[in-house]
Structure 1
């Protein structure tokens, strides 16, 4: 009879499963030795048991948990087997969507690194005008407390908490944090009370709670390099440029954090794009943007 049985060491090599794992499979009831020799307690396994081990390995590769595999191998009919497969299919679809979102998030972050590094390398502080396309953003509004310092840090921390409560994962939104202020003068004087954090929402986000359409306007644009403590100087240059080029400003402003604490610990390396929306009709720009997107 021994000729038809294999030692645990031999089975480990044939099935490419460690002896420790084989003992664990036995411990949780996935397999049983076909013979335990006395008094050595050596374990021996048949070909049919080895085939069962291969089924276990296959199901593990398909993403099933050991608890699920134990239930599947003990199922008396195919209905429960099918049900567990459908659950795994649904879970796999969710994981595919999640990793697509993560890929989009990683690409968006990488784009910011490339953009910020180029701006910093060339010390690009030129004032220009650009079209900001309309997109769907996750939105979090906050009132600044009297005498509060580091308001942006409070805003980001509360934003993460709120997004989690709304069922968002951290990869549902991506790209730069944008902080919108109701008035550029209040921002320059550091007397603002209301602020809104915006971040682009990816298409397959799980929730539309606290989202808003933002963009669809022309804006005077300029990169501010370094800490934001002297960002008012950049605003002054932009206001002078807008006046010289006869741009009528709406009055609000937005700061887009290209390089910040999430990319570098050195504030002198921070890169922030400051946007001053312009009060002009942008239908033609919106049309061109739709055409670019094939709509």
Structure 2
């Protein structure tokens, strides 16, 4: 394009694809200063002001606010006459800010993705009525854990206020399904009170004393569809299958809540995976 010495606000707006309102605001805060005509007091811009618009757009693309970019656009110098000090300071601060934002988005994405995967899993289990007993290798994973006493209130154990408070206390965030490790699956069958361990994966690294490893071994598993009040039926199915196929069940059991009170109030659509350590007779 052919450049000239003076541009009206309308010309700058059209050439640089920026609103007149924005240009007036830039003028007001001293970011792109205009001059006034002696003849009619109209606002006009120099060639230098015109070329400042793409620079501002680029800094905005990087996430800088107008007040943040003002110092280094104006070329502020420090006490030793160095012009790049404020620029480096601003960019270092922006890098730190964006790293924090990137980490926050990562955690949010992972949490939403894990939840979405659970919904897909539950839908597949229900649509195909998958309730067969199977033996499979469960990959080892680390979980944040909290020891409690189970008082036969399964809803309060899954939506667990005490565990939620503990997660906040250790400055962490949770993701994926809740797991409850029952110290005795036989006591679970009889609805007895017993020590349990609440387990869930985290979005931040746990300290060593806060985490436990679950899996890394063969387990007998079976999906339970429906209310937790009838989960005894699935335990009995597992026990019968294990005897028939000469497997020895461990003492403890794990219940992995694929969908539950966190997802829906329709208990008929709950999906729970029951898992018990197993070995050959």
Shorter chain as denominator, the TM-score bin is: 0.7 to 0.9
Shift of 1:256: 0.9
Shift of 1:225: 0.4
Task: Say what the alpha-carbon RMSD is for the aligned residues.
Answer: 2.9
Q: TM-score, normalised by structure 2?
A: 0.81
Shift of 1:227: 1.8
- Partner Cα separation in structure 2 for residue 116 and residue 148 of structure 1: 23
The match for 1:249 is 249
For these two proteins, the number of residue pairs brought into alignment is: 270
- Partner Cα separation in structure 1 for residue 35 and residue 167 of structure 2: 54
Segments of 5+ residues of structure 1 without an aligned counterpart are: 281-295
The match for 1:8 is 9
Q: TM-score, normalised by structure 1?
A: 0.77
SS of the residue 1:248 aligns to: strand
Q: Deviations over 1:256-280 (max 9, x none)?
A: 1222344444321221111112257
Shift of 1:165: 3.7
SS of the residue 1:272 aligns to: strand
Cα distance change, pair 27–194 in 1 and its aligned pair in 2 (3 A): farther
The match for 2:156 is 151
Greater radius of gyration (CA): 2
- Partner Cα separation in structure 1 for residue 139 and residue 194 of structure 2: 27
SS of the residue 2:11 aligns to: helix
SS of the residue 2:18 aligns to: coil
- Partner Cα separation in structure 1 for residue 268 and residue 37 of structure 2: 70
- Partner Cα separation in structure 1 for residue 101 and residue 247 of structure 2: 48
The answer as to whether partners of 1:134 and 1:213 remain within 8 angstroms in 2 is yes
SS of the residue 2:250 aligns to: coil
Cα distance change, pair 206–214 in 1 and its aligned pair in 2 (3 A): closer
Q: Give runs of aligned pairs for residues 138-217 of structure 1, distance below 5 A.
A: 138-144=144-150, 150-155=155-160, 157-169=161-173, 173-201=174-202, 205-208=204-207, 210-217=210-217
- Partner Cα separation in structure 2 for residue 182 and residue 166 of structure 1: 24
Q: Give runs of aligned pairs for residues 202-241 of structure 1, distance below 5 A.
A: 205-208=204-207, 210-241=210-241
- Partner Cα separation in structure 2 for residue 160 and residue 43 of structure 1: 59
Shift of 1:208: 3.2
- Partner Cα separation in structure 2 for residue 228 and residue 64 of structure 1: 52
Cα distance change, pair 49–165 in 1 and its aligned pair in 2 (3 A): farther
Q: Answer with 46-55 or 86-95: which moved more.
A: 86-95
Segments of 5+ residues of structure 2 without an aligned counterpart are: 78-82
**Which protein has the bigger strand share?**
2
Give yes or no for the alignment of 1:118 onto 2:124: yes
